Structure 1
Amino acid sequence: MQNLKFDQDIKPLSEVRNGMASFIKQVHETKRPLIITQRGKSAAVLLDVHEYVLMQDKLELLTDIRTSLNQLNKGEGVSHETARKKLLGRIKP
């Protein structure tokens, strides 16, 4: 996802409502999110679908890493050498 350009990527709801197709095109082409404001405060974010999926994938990976680190800190993991032996033992006849 590209970095936000504050002068281009923050729009009031009334402007977005009147030109939704052009804003969807902008988000799709620039890969930048569009912040939609209502009464001067941020209210919603419009994202390109592909960028949203990538963001969800990254979040899932980070969650898995955090879970793994917590398990290791609790002593619930196995050493690299033990895991390696188990995997190699499964693929050798």
Structure 2
Amino acid sequence: MQKLKIDQDIRSMSEVRNAMAAYIKQVHDTKRPVIITQHGKGVAVLLGANEFEAMQEKIDLLSDVQTALNQLAKGEGIAHQTAKAKLLKQVPQ
């Protein structure tokens, strides 16, 4: 996902409602989200499906990393050599 450009990517609900196809094309072409406002406050984000999927994958990965870090902090980890040996046992030779 590209960085947000404030002057181009923040639009009011009425602007988006009146030109939805144009904003969907903008999101697709620029790979940037459009922030939709109502009464001057952000209420929604229009995001391309591929960008959303990539974001979900990153969140899942970061969640797994955090879980692993928490396990290590609790002393639940195993030594590198032990993990390597367990994995090699599972791989057919």
Instruction: Answer whether TM exceeds 0.5 for this pair.
Output: yes
Equivalence for 1:29: 29
**In structure 2, C-alpha distance between the alignment counterparts of 1:89 and 1:31, rounded to whole Å:** 44
Deviations for 1:20-41, whole angstroms, at most 9, x for unmatched residues? 0000000011000000000111
What secondary structure does 1:52 align onto? helix
- Where structure 2 has 5 or more consecutive residues not aligned to the other structure, the ranges are none
**In structure 2, C-alpha distance between the alignment counterparts of 1:17 and 1:37, rounded to whole Å:** 11
Q: 1:91: how far off?
A: 3.1
1:1-93 equivalences under 5 Å are: 1-91=1-91
**In structure 2, C-alpha distance between the alignment counterparts of 1:81 and 1:23, rounded to whole Å:** 53
Identity %: 60
- Where structure 1 has 5 or more consecutive residues not aligned to the other structure, the ranges are none
**In structure 2, C-alpha distance between the alignment counterparts of 1:90 and 1:10, rounded to whole Å:** 51
Deviations for 1:39-83, whole angstroms, at most 9, x for unmatched residues? 111111000000000000000000000000100111111111001
**In structure 2, C-alpha distance between the alignment counterparts of 1:32 and 1:84, rounded to whole Å:** 41
Q: CA RMSD in A?
A: 1.2
- Alignment: residue pair count: 93
**In structure 1, C-alpha distance between the alignment counterparts of 2:7 and 2:31, rounded to whole Å:** 16
**In structure 1, C-alpha distance between the alignment counterparts of 2:14 and 2:21, rounded to whole Å:** 14
**In structure 2, C-alpha distance between the alignment counterparts of 1:92 and 1:57, rounded to whole Å:** 29
**In structure 1, C-alpha distance between the alignment counterparts of 2:34 and 2:25, rounded to whole Å:** 11
